[in-house]
Copies of this chain bind each other. A is one copy, B any other.
Amino acid sequence: MNVVVVGSVALDSVETPYGKVENALGGSAVYFSVSASYFTRVGVVAVIGRDFPEEHLTFLKNRTIDLGGITREEGLTFHWKGKYSGDLNEAETLDTQLNVFETFRPHIPDEYREAPIVFLANIDPELQHTVLKQVKRPRLTICDTMNFWIDGKLDQLKETIQQVDILIINEGEARLLSQESNLIKAYRQIASYGPETLVVKQGSNGALLFTPSSIFSAPAYLLDTISDPTGAGDCFAGGFTGYLATVNTVTEHELRKAVIYGSVMASFNVEDFSLGRLKTLTFDEVEKRFASFKQLTQF
């Protein structure tokens, strides 16, 4: 196992100006692992309910994702219902049913404990912390979080991110976490909490990578139609982390390439609802779009 992800597996009902889906495959661990599976072998730690369709498990297995860390409980699967309107930059949550996710206590299988890379998707920072206690000094710990935890569990979150190498959050979260509106100052503040490397996702404006030695600005890939932005952030993290799993040394140069692979995966994911686009996506298409990102920024 090269990468272990701990997060949610969900059934999502999503509506955007371009259509809608009911009880479609979703969840941070799913988007992340499918995206990362283009680069490396991933193991998933998550919980599903009795209603979770077998076909989704088959899809994940066919992507050579290891499901040994997924437990099935008696209740129903986590369900999220949301709606995007206007420029699709923000989701309105219509309903959240935590179901079996409410009592989720991540248990890392023995065969995952020595994984070189751990990705903590956006879950309760206390649970993220219990994951870090179970793994054996991964080479790289990467973490996501959100406003809800920054507002509600800041101390616990800071305890977690103190042990994290790379934090991947969006622009608003970076400002909220650092209490700085300027992003350079925000990076300095966040680095003082622990993570030397910060990736700031900027939605339709691309992403920024901050390291102690430089700043990298990755463009957004412009599409003429975005069907559904759900999971874009997790697909970004999956491409980013998956690519890093393939390199011997995590240099500045490799981190920059990882940001672009993350952007590539996110850009494909938003082309269709749920995992629709990633179900047909080939690695050849991934490499072609990577080349397009080069073309987009060269001068």
A109 at interface, CB cutoff 8 A: no
CB within 8 Å for A184 and B224 given contacts A205-B202, A219-B219, A260-B299: yes
Q: Which of B181, B205, B216 contacts A297 (CB 8 A)?
A: B216
Instruction: Please tell me if the beta carbons of A182 and B253 are within 8 angstroms of each other in the complex.
Output: no
Q: Which of B87, B184, B202, B216 contacts A299 (CB 8 A)?
A: B216
A277-299 Cβ-contact flags toward B at 8 Å (1 or 0): 00000000000000001111111
A176 at interface, CB cutoff 8 A: no
CB within 8 Å for A297 and B224 given contacts A181-B87, A202-B205, A205-B202: no
A5 at interface, CB cutoff 8 A: no
A230-254 Cβ-contact flags toward B at 8 Å (1 or 0): 0000000000000000000000010
CB within 8 Å for A86 and B222 given contacts A294-B299, A299-B294: no
Instruction: Please tell me if the beta carbons of A224 and B256 are within 8 angstroms of each other in the complex.
Output: no
Within 8 A of B (CB), among A172-194: 181-185
A259 at interface, CB cutoff 8 A: yes
Instruction: Please tell me if the beta carbons of B256 and A296 are within 8 angstroms of each other in the complex.
Output: no
Assembly of this chain: how many copies? 2
Q: How far is the CB of A88 from chain B (nearest CB, A)?
A: 9
Instruction: Please tell me if the beta carbons of A181 and B86 are within 8 angstroms of each other in the complex.
Output: yes
Query: How far, in angstroms, from A219 to B218 measured CA to CA in the complex?
Result: 8
Of all chain B residues, the one with the shortest Cβ separation from A254 is B299
A206 at interface, CB cutoff 8 A: yes
CB contacts (< 8 Å) of A224 on chain B: these are 182, 184-185
Within 8 A of B (CB), among A55-78: none
Instruction: Please tell me if the beta carbons of B296 and A216 are within 8 angstroms of each other in the complex.
Output: yes
Query: How far, in angstroms, from A202 to B215 measured CA to CA in the complex?
Result: 19
A216-227 Cβ-contact flags toward B at 8 Å (1 or 0): 111110111110
Q: Which of A86, A215, A256 has the most CB of B within 10 A?
A: A215
Q: List 16 A-B contacts (CB under 8 A).
A: A182-B224, A182-B226, A183-B222, A205-B206, A208-B222, A215-B222, A215-B296, A216-B296, A216-B297, A217-B220, A217-B222, A256-B298, A259-B299, A293-B299, A294-B299, A297-B299
Given pairs A215-B222, A219-B297, A256-B298, 14 additional interface contacts (CB within 8 A)? A86-B181, A182-B226, A185-B224, A206-B219, A208-B222, A215-B296, A216-B296, A216-B297, A217-B219, A217-B220, A217-B297, A219-B219, A253-B299, A260-B299
